[in-house]
Structure 1
Amino acid sequence: LASTSDHLAYIIYTSGSTGRAKGVMVEHRSLVNAYFAWKDAYALPNFSSHLQMASFSFDVFTGDWVRCLCSGAKLVLCPYESLLEAKLLYALMQQQQVDTAEFSPAVLRNLMQYLQDTQQRLDFMRMLIVGSDSFYIHEYQALRQLCSAQTRLINSYGVSEATIDSTYFEMTCIDDESENELANGLVPIGRPFANTQIYILNTDFQPVPIGVTGELYLGGAGLARGYLNQPELTQQRFIQHPMASRLYKTGDLACYRSDGTIELLGRSDYQVKLRGFRIELEEIEALLRQHPAVGEAIAILQGEDDKRIVAYVVPNVLGHTASDPEPSLTASLRSFLKTQLPHYMLPGSFVLLETMPLTPNGKIDRASIAEQYRKALLASENPSRDLEDNFVPPSTPIEQTLAELWAELLQVSSVSVTDNFF
């Protein structure tokens, strides 16, 4: 049977924030449009060897092989176990003469740390794409120092429901003036690819002015047909709108910058409410990553009745290590955040990790980390104590009295003099 443009090209399953798998139905017309948009924006015929790092269940995998198949480039498969083994990853890139690759920030950060420690470079790369998660200005600046002046550095943004990629930003456009405009320190996601429409709307579905936060909606030729056998969910997320035949509701918060590019401000579901205060967890993460002893960091709201923000930190290779008994590091992090954040946003616990676990897609596995912490608390004799192993007992009569009062009030067996009750 002949295949037409409105036939399905593939169905890809994504769980998103709900945890329930959704089969996204992508048609041939959308996939073909994606390739030609990449071809024009990235000048694909100029590249010969592309590194494949994404899991086959992730839509970036489809983007990688489609770009190579249709432009005649070589696709270099990277074993999953090499993603966080930077030495092996770098050796593979050199051996196979890789000149283009799309990295998740978690994998790229690890590679950058290795290159800085060993004083090696990425001059052989002609194009390096960062996607799938947030990438920060200071990280771009460090990456720029590792590449040649001719290397194209691109930040991309997309969702499975709009056929992989929807926008891209040439990071070489960042200068001192534009950097000062970026309030959250994130690299912008730029402008839409060909035949993609972007709308930033308020809760009344009206366009927001420049600089005002709204929710990001996508339209155009890349829009998927919907979710397989889930008509109600399809209707909720793929909405009808007067400005377009259909729009996809991403759940991402964004705003327009003065130059017309788009700045991504985080997920609407990464906003949490704690003791009546609305908190952006990504703001805490961004500040933690600015600390010189921090290599990677995430913040998660955890707990049932006694909710708290828990910060998970991977120390820098040249700084502290997670195996060291370093109460000084968590104390330093607390002091650092106190100068930047209000009290209600300060993490109640800091947990040091050797590495961040990754999903098969190369993203930080937040669910796995949260579950490990929950199990550790349940297994501990006193689950109200932090896992950072830096209990400081009272040393004066006044401290002892205060600790006993707090322990009685909070119904816990012990209180450290360094505990943060906010």
Structure 2
Amino acid sequence: MARILLVGGGRGLQNLIRERTPNLRTIVLARTSAIGLVPDLEVNDFVGLLPESASTEEWVQTARAIQTLWPYERVTALAEIDQDKAAAIAADQNMEYHAPDLVRVVNDKHEMRQRLAKVSLTRVDSELPRDEHEAVESARRLGYPVVIKPNGGRGSAGVRIVESDSAVIDAFRYASEIGTDSGAEKACLISSPPMIEQFVNGREFSVEAFSHEGNHVIAAVTEKFIDQASKVEIGHVVPARISGLEHEQITEFVDAILTALGIRFGATHTEVMLSEHGPELIETHLRKAGDEILELVRDATGWTIDEATVDQAATGRFIHPGWDEAVARTGGHYTGAAAIWFAQAEKTGRIDRIQGLDELLSQTEVREAKALVAKGTLVGAARSSLDRVARVRVVAQDSDTAVAIASGYMETLSFVYQEDS
């Protein structure tokens, strides 16, 4: 009977891999803070937990010990946290997974940009200042406006666009603070210093792709909606409202990025800015998109990337979604549209309830209407996507209609705070 080592969490994906491959046995090795991301502990042959301070070598040695007692043939990480550990374990045991160097580079935004610059796939310069004084000097060299963010951040955490020396100092301190918020469900994967890079003006998109043996299937281009105050994403729609030519520009650019980085398999989520000079990379990730974007992709294309992910991890096999690749590159493969919208807290306080969600669930176009915080949770100004308080996901015939419905329904919700009730 086949057995796989699952490194880190993965919630629904860990259950899905067992559902899709019934004869597969699973072992989990995770950090202690990720235990809540491991569902149904008892169905695994073994679950091991390592302290937050454990070194990569300790993970590798533990995986070797597990191999002697519960032999496994494959290894994977079904969540972004601890992909570096999975990569080190796979390399040590000569198993297929992302190369350790690839995981390291993708999680280091500054180094990734430097590597892509060498093959002319980014025009954006970036620096890693060590303190506020160096940050000001970097900003002056790069030219205002600049973007300051944690080098290993995620979910828009700690991102600020600044246009003056004084603003650089504030943003550097903010990014430094957010950069220490690391862990399984934190703002950063690892503790990260601030990075500073040139600002690119344009429209923001993400590209959801899936790779197999170095070939990249582009599933969708997602249009993103950003709150200008917090820089946190407040909505997405698939397909993006762009021309076929722009769709092809973006997808071919991302294909080149994935190839240049050496990505050979698995789901990727790549964020790009479409500027007057063409597409420009923001960042890429060796994981599926968050924010229910893959649900939007499924509703708009019929392809469930989560199933492809676990099938490939469990067996090494891949079933193509069946569309013509040339048609898909220009956006001709979509069968409908889907959008999601998020709410941020209106003020600082403890949420008592969110009124209107149950009523939305009765609407035929609504696929999900959900509170993202429990009663009594202290909420306030959003600093990352983890701070949003509710979401609504819908389907429609076209993207304009989907955006209008999703954002409109969000406006119907009301938020009651405990101090007001």
- TM (norm. structure 1) is 0.29
Determine which structure has greater relative contact order: mean sequence separation of CA pairs < 8 Å that are 6+ residues apart, divided by chain length. Answer: 2
Larger of the two Rg values belongs to structure: 1
- TM (norm. structure 2) is 0.29
